Amino acid sequence: MRPQIAAANWKMNLTLPQAEALLDALLATSRTTAPHQQVILAMPFPYLPLAISRTAGQSHISIAAQNCHHKPSGAYTGEVSAPMLASLGITHILIGHSERREYFLEDDVLLAAKLDIALEHGLTPVFCCGEPLRVREAGTHDAFVATQLRNSLFHLPPERLAGLLIAYEPIWAIGTGRTATAEQAQEMHAGLRSVIARHAGDTLAATIPILYGGSVKGSNAGELFSKPDVDGGLVGGASLDAVDFGRIVGALKQA
């Protein structure tokens, strides 16, 4: 079975005491996970060392950064590099989240460079893709998301593509309370696998985990995750609630 993953994205939330309290609550409510299940916690830069320390010995929990610069070092005041993150013990990194694309104008070329630097330094990218409402309403969402994959991922050889995760996020469902139906999520995830298969072969397409992101909650996670091509979720708001996020972890496929 492909890895089944509950990934939390705290975004720009929480003070240090709140982050400590949430980590403690998550660990206190931590469920026993199967070998194929994993929890990833993506949080703001200041809290990464804290999270690494608090989750030491928790083999099913990995810590992720939310972003990195596309250069390994240099005169880029205020930025954080992939080598810095790797030196902390970070294992994963979000790349291409819709908020980075929209608010910071990150395009496919820049995201490809970020993928390269992350992989070069041993970080596992969680590559985010997805369409805005206007594209969904126009019925061109399949082509739109396929183009995101081709432009940012397909310069990589198959063995490098195998070292990342994909998160499909319908932008119209992020933080809006709207959620793609389980059927819509399955349709898009299956479509992404077919795009990957045409580029890198059926074996890779069948083994790469694809997560759904977009108003995932404890109340809808089970239905979403039950679909054959949905391998868990990238969770925003609900990841700030330890109990609700615990329910999401518990909804991952068991076998």
Give the residue numbers marked as catalytic: 97, 169
The 3-state DSSP class for residue 24 equals helix
Rounded Cα distance, 112 and 215, in Å: 26
Tally Cβ neighbours within 10 Å of residue 91.
17
Tally Cβ neighbours within 10 Å of residue 56.
10
Rounded Cα distance, 246 and 164, in Å: 24
Q: End-to-end CA distance of the chain, in Å?
A: 7
User: Which residues contact residue 131 at a Cβ distance below 8 angstroms, ignoring those fewer than 6 apart?
Assistant: 140, 141, 144, 145, 170, 171, 172
CA geometry: angle 129, 63, 112, nearest 5 deg: 35
User: Which residues contact residue 232 at a Cβ distance below 8 angstroms, ignoring those fewer than 6 apart?
Assistant: 3, 4, 5, 6, 7, 209, 211, 212, 225, 252
Rounded Cα distance, 118 and 125, in Å: 7
